[in-house]
Structure 1
Amino acid sequence: MDISLFYFADDASGDDRGRYDLLLDGARFADEAGLTAVWTPERHFHRFGGLYSNSAITGAAVASVTKRIGVRAGSVVLPLHDPIRVAEEWSMVDNLSDGRAAVAFASGWHAVDFLLHPDPTRAYADRRALLAEHVEVVRALWAGNSITRTDGSGGTSTVRIFPTPVQPELPFWITSSGNPETFRTAGRLGGNLLTHVLGQRPAVLARNIGVYRDALRAAHGPDARGHVTLMLHTYLGTSDDQVLEEVREPFSRYLASSLDLTTRSGPTTEGIDEVSEADAEALVRRAFDRYSRESGLFGSLATAHRAVSAFAEAGVDEIACLVDFGVDRKSVLRGMDHLGELVADLR
Structure 2
Amino acid sequence: MKFYMMHLMPYADLDLDYDQKHNSAWVTLPNSYYDPKKGAKLYNRYLDELEYADQLGFDGICVNEHHQNAYGLMPQPGVMAGALARRTKKVKIAILGRALPLLNNPVTVAEEFAMVDNITEGRFIAGFVRGIGAEYHAWSSNPADSHDRFHEAHDLILRAWTETGPFAFEGKHYQFEYVNLWPRPYQSPRPPIWIPSQGSSETIEWASHPDRRYTYLQTFTPVAMLAKYMQMYKAMAAGHGYEATEDQLGWSVPLYVAETDEIARREAQPHIENFLNKFLRMPKEMLLPPGYLSLNSMLGVMKAKSSIGTKQTIDDVMAKGMFICGSPETVRQKLEQYQSEIGFGHLLTLLQFGTLPAELTRKNMEIYANEVMPYLRDKTANAIPAAAE
Please state which band the TM-score falls in when normalised by the shorter chain.
0.7 to 0.9
Choose from 137, 149, 164 the match for 1:130.
149
Structure 1 pair 192–330 and aligned structure 2 pair: CA distance change class (3 A): same
Q: In the alignment, does 2:338 pair up with 1:284?
A: no
Which amino acid in structure 1 is aligned with residue 334 of structure 2? A
Choose from 358, 366, 374 the match for 1:337.
366
What are the superposed Cα offsets for residues 262-292 of structure 1, whole Å, 9 maximum, x if unpaired? 5433449xxxxxxxxxxx9993334x32222
The TM-score, its normalising length taken from structure 1, stands at 0.85
SS for the counterpart of 1:127 is helix
Tell me how far apart the structure 2 counterparts of residues 90 and 137 of structure 1 sit (CA, whole Å). Answer: 14
Q: In the alignment, does 2:97 pair up with 1:75?
A: yes
Give the 4+ runs in structure 1 shifted more than 6 A.
none
Tell me how far apart the structure 2 counterparts of residues 180 and 282 of structure 1 sit (CA, whole Å). Answer: 23
Structure 1 unmatched ranges of 5 or more? 269-279
Q: In the alignment, does 2:92 pair up with 1:66?
A: no
The alignment of Structure 1 onto Structure 2 pairs a total of residues equal to 323
Tell me how far apart the structure 1 counterparts of residues 118 and 87 of structure 2 sit (CA, whole Å). Answer: 14
Contact 1:34–1:343 (Cα < 8 Å) also in 2:
no
Tell me how far apart the structure 2 counterparts of residues 254 and 176 of structure 1 sit (CA, whole Å). Answer: 19
Matches within 5 A, 1:252-267: 252-263=273-284, 264-267=286-289
Q: In the alignment, does 2:65 pair up with 1:38?
A: no
Q: In the alignment, does 2:121 pair up with 1:98?
A: yes
Which amino acid in structure 2 is aligned with residue 238 of structure 1? E
1:170, distance to aligned residue in structure 2 (A): 1.9
Choose from 259, 264, 272 the match for 1:251.
272
1:310, distance to aligned residue in structure 2 (A): 2.2
1:115, distance to aligned residue in structure 2 (A): 5.3
Choose from 301, 304, 315 the match for 2:328.
301
Root mean square deviation, CA, Å: 2.4
Structure 2 unmatched ranges of 5 or more? 14-34, 291-306, 379-389
Q: In the alignment, does 2:43 pair up with 1:24?
A: no
Q: In the alignment, does 2:37 pair up with 1:8?
A: no
Tell me how far apart the structure 2 counterparts of residues 52 and 158 of structure 1 sit (CA, whole Å). Answer: 30
Structure 1 pair 245–232 and aligned structure 2 pair: CA distance change class (3 A): same
What are the superposed Cα offsets for residues 287-311 of structure 1, whole Å, 9 maximum, x if unpaired? x322223222211111111121122
SS for the counterpart of 2:40 is coil
User: Identity of aligned pairs, percent?
Assistant: 22
Aligned to 1:87: 110
Tell me how far apart the structure 1 counterparts of residues 68 and 94 of structure 2 sit (CA, whole Å). Answer: 22
Contact 2:3–2:58 (Cα < 8 Å) also in 1:
yes
1:114, distance to aligned residue in structure 2 (A): 5.6
Contact 1:43–1:53 (Cα < 8 Å) also in 2:
yes
Structure 1 pair 299–262 and aligned structure 2 pair: CA distance change class (3 A): farther
1:86, distance to aligned residue in structure 2 (A): 0.8
Aligned to 1:185: 206
Contact 1:202–1:314 (Cα < 8 Å) also in 2:
no
Aligned to 1:213: 234
Tell me how far apart the structure 1 counterparts of residues 228 and 62 of structure 2 sit (CA, whole Å). Answer: 25
Structure 1 pair 92–240 and aligned structure 2 pair: CA distance change class (3 A): same
Aligned to 1:328: 357
1:53, distance to aligned residue in structure 2 (A): 0.8
Contact 1:56–1:73 (Cα < 8 Å) also in 2:
yes
Contact 2:277–2:309 (Cα < 8 Å) also in 1:
no
SS for the counterpart of 1:260 is coil
Aligned to 1:222: 242
Contact 1:187–1:214 (Cα < 8 Å) also in 2:
no
Aligned to 1:315: 343
Contact 2:114–2:185 (Cα < 8 Å) also in 1:
yes
Tell me how far apart the structure 2 counterparts of residues 26 and 259 of structure 1 sit (CA, whole Å). Answer: 22
Which amino acid in structure 1 is aligned with residue 150 of structure 2? L
Structure 1 pair 298–111 and aligned structure 2 pair: CA distance change class (3 A): closer
The TM-score, its normalising length taken from structure 2, stands at 0.76
Contact 2:264–2:325 (Cα < 8 Å) also in 1:
yes
Which amino acid in structure 2 is aligned with residue 5 of structure 1? M
Which amino acid in structure 2 is aligned with residue 148 of structure 1? A
Contact 1:45–1:113 (Cα < 8 Å) also in 2:
no
